[in-house]
Amino acid sequence: MPSWTDHANSKPTLIERLRALLRADNYISFAELDQLDGFCGDQTLTLDGYPNLVVWTGISRQAVDDLATLLERGECRLGLASPFTYLIDGKALNLPIAKRLIHYKKPRWLRVVLLRA
């Protein structure tokens, strides 16, 4: 059984840090999420059912799983981002922008942010 010191010295998990961010802010870009320890990796997050609508690239497996959990539980949702959001945050994907929610033949970036549900 973990002692109180183990608990006191434990680092919050990625999902706990994501929840804390959502409590603090209601408009979080994936460029901002990239700054979290454990968020970056080699995975690509796509919109469910649309394999060529890319939400973000360079995400860890844990981040993909944690975001899926938060979305499935209704703790957050994806919302369309302003065209200036990623410009201001200083990071964007080098993909054509998706203009509509359709099945594209080649990958396109669906410019979204995380919002509180």
Percent composition of the chain: helix, strand, coil (DSSP 3-state, to 5): 30, 30, 40
Q: The tokens of 86 are what? A: 């990623």
Number of domains into which the chain is organized: 1
Burial class from Cβ neighbours inside 10 Å (0-12, 13-18, 19+) for residue 4 reads exposed
75-84 pLDDT tens trace: 999 999 998 9
pLDDT of amino acid 9:
60
Which structure tokens are listed for 66?
A: 């944690």
pTM exceeding the 0.75 threshold for the entire prediction? yes
Structural domain including 89 reads: 4-116
| pLDDT (tens digit per residue) in 23-73 | 999 999 999 999 999 999 999 999 999 999 999 999 999 999 999 999 999
- Tell me the pLDDT tens digit for each residue of 2-29: 665 555 566 899 999 999 999 999 999 9
pLDDT for the residue numbered 11: 83
For residue 36, give every residue at least 6 positions away whose Cβ sits within 8 Å of its Cβ, in sequence order, or none: 14, 17, 18, 21, 63
Interstrand relation of 50-59 and 112-116 (parallel, antiparallel or unpaired)? unpaired
